[in-house]
């Protein structure tokens, strides 16, 4: 009996062409997020040391997440669009206070 019945065959070239652009193992969106957060830390503390204390663990988390799913940031953004906006929506007729209806 053939073992490849029911399996989808993928081409490595197709997989490489559909991956997002990566830099140092993480996507450009994650690099931008790292840059913004590390600059905020630097501006608030005026210390390069504290900036690197934040950016190195953040990059490692992004590297591990991107090694599993390269588009995890985009998926998280899409998930956030459908997540309830307000924790106490049940008290206000299942709407947020800034909803027009």
Question: 57 or 86, which is more confident?
Answer: 57
The confidence band for 81, taking pLDDT boundaries of 50, 70 and 90, is: confident
Q: What is the mean pLDDT of residues 67-95?
A: 77
**Which helix (H) or strand (E) element contains residue 12?**
helix 12-18
The confidence band for 2, taking pLDDT boundaries of 50, 70 and 90, is: low
Q: What is the 3-state secondary structure (H, E, C) of 18-67?
A: HCCCEECCEEHHHHHHHHHHHHHHHHHHCCHHHHHHHHHHHHHHHHHHHH
CA distance 46 to 33: 19
Q: For the chain, which residues make up each domain, given as ranges?
A: 33-81
Structure tokens at 1: 């009996």
pLDDT digits (tens, 9 = 90+) for 19-69: 888 889 999 999 999 999 999 999 999 988 998 999 999 999 999 999 888
Q: What is the mean pLDDT of residues 88-97?
A: 66
The whole-number pLDDT of residue 31 equals 94
């Amino acid at each position: 009996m053939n073992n490849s019945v029911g399996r989808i065959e993928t081409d490595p070239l197709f997989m490489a062409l559909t991956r997002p652009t990566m830099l140092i193992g993480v996507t450009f969106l994650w690099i931008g997020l790292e840059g913004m957060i590390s600059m905020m830390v630097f501006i608030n503390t005026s210390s390069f040391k504290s900036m690197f204390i934040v950016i190195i663990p953040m990059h490692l988390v992004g590297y591990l997440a991107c090694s599993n799913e390269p588009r995890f940031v985009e998926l998280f953004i899409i998930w956030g669009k459908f997540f309830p906006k307000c924790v106490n929506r049940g008290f206000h007729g299942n709407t947020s206070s800034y909803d027009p209806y």
